Structure formats: structure tokens, C-alpha cells
Structure 1
Amino acid sequence: MDWVFLILAGVFEMVGVTMINRFHRESNWQSLVLLLAGCGASFLFLNLAMKTLPMGTAYAVWTGIGASGGAILGMVLYGESKDWRRILFIIMVLGSAVGLKWIS
């Protein structure tokens, strides 16, 4: 269950990061509420995951999911660069997160 919590934490981190961008563009109360909810849920699930997972592994996987997911959402939703090198490095970040799961 700890890995499920960690994945959920990463997904909500992606929501929070996306809402930061939306709030920056629109600056309305709905974006702010979604930003706070996404980040709050992310920290809640990260806390639950870290009850059994080592801190270093949990933090690395959480940031990996959040960073790569945020970059992917930026490409899909906001037209950010889809350069093959950018995609390669996103794959490398995700591969590192999977590697940490395998050795934990």
C-alpha cells in the first residue's frame, strides 16, 4: 500500500504543479483552491508512504513522478517543447524511479 500512496502523492504533485502554472496565467480563486488541494493531497500521501518506505527512496520517486509528469503535462497542455532530448531525459528520470522501486 505504501507504493500506492507514493504514486498518488506523485500524481497529486503533478496536479499541484499544473495548477501553479494555471494560477500564474489566470490568478483566480478556483486555480488557487486546486493548487492548494493538489499540493495538500500530495504531502498527505507522501507522509503516508514514508511511514514504511525509506525517506530517500520516497522523496526521489515522488519528485521524479512530479517533475516528469509536470514536464509531460506542460508539453500536452501548454505547448512546451517536445524535443526528443527532453523526452529522453524524462524517460531517464522515470527509469531511475523504477530502479529505486526494484532495489527497495
Structure 2
Amino acid sequence: MAWLFLILAGVFEVVGVTGMNLVNKLRNLKSYLILTVGFALSFSCLALAMKALPMGLSYAVWTGIGTVGGTIVGMLFYGESKNWKRLSFIALIIVAVIGLKLTS
């Protein structure tokens, strides 16, 4: 169950970051709600996950999901670069998170 909370925390982190981008562009109530609710749910799920998982692992997986998810959202919806170098580094982040899971 802790892993489910950790994955949800990462997904909600992406929602919060997307809300932050929307606030920078639109500055409307909906954008602020997306930002606030996304981060509130993210931190809540992270706290629940950390009751059973080690802090270092939890934080690394959470930030990894947030980094990869935010970058992919940027590429798909905001016209950010999709060059092979960026994709290679995304793959490295994913491999690193899997490695941490396997060694913990």
C-alpha cells in the first residue's frame, strides 16, 4: 500500500507542477486550485508512504516521478524539446529509481 501512496504522490506532484505552469500563464482561480490541490495531495500521499518506506528511497522515487512526469507533460502539452538527449536523461532517471528500489 505504501508504494501505491508513493506513486500517487509522484503523480500529484506532476499535477501541482502543471498547476504552477498554468498559474504563470493564466493566473486564474482554476490554475491556483490545480496547483494547491496537486501539491496538498502529493505531500499527503508522500507522508503516508513514508510511514512504511525509508525516507531516502521515498524522496528519490517521488522526485523521480515528478521530474520525469513534469518533463513529459512539458514535451506533450507545452512544446518543450523532445530531442534524444532529454529522452536519454529521462531514461537514466527511471533506471536510477528502479536501482534504488532493487537495492533497498
TM-score by length of 1: 0.97
For residue 28 of structure 1, report the CA deviation from its aligned partner.
Answer: 0.2
Tell me the distance in 1 between the aligned counterparts of 2:77 and 2:22: 10
Residues 53-98 of structure 1 show CA distances to partners (whole Å, capped at 9, x for unaligned) of 1100000000000011100100001000001000100111111111
**4+ residue runs over 2 A deviation:** none
Aligned to 2:2: 2
Tell me the distance in 2 between the aligned counterparts of 1:91 and 1:10: 17
Aligned to 1:15: 15
Aligned to 2:103: 103
Tell me the distance in 2 between the aligned counterparts of 1:41 and 1:94: 23
Equivalent AA in structure 2 for residue 69 of structure 1: G
Aligned residues: 104
Aligned to 1:50: 50
Aligned to 1:33: 33
The DSSP-based 3-state class of the residue aligned with 2:4 is: helix
Return 5+ residue gaps in structure 2 as ranges: none
Equivalent AA in structure 2 for residue 80 of structure 1: E
CA RMSD of aligned residues (A): 0.6
Residues 14-39 of structure 1 show CA distances to partners (whole Å, capped at 9, x for unaligned) of 01011110110000011001110000
Tell me the distance in 2 between the aligned counterparts of 1:102 and 1:79: 34
Aligned to 1:78: 78
Tell me whether 90-99 or 48-57 shows the greater mean CA deviation: 90-99
For residue 99 of structure 1, report the CA deviation from its aligned partner.
Answer: 1.3
Return 5+ residue gaps in structure 1 as ranges: none
TM-score by length of 2: 0.97
Tell me the distance in 2 between the aligned counterparts of 1:74 and 1:82: 9
For residue 46 of structure 1, report the CA deviation from its aligned partner.
Answer: 0.2
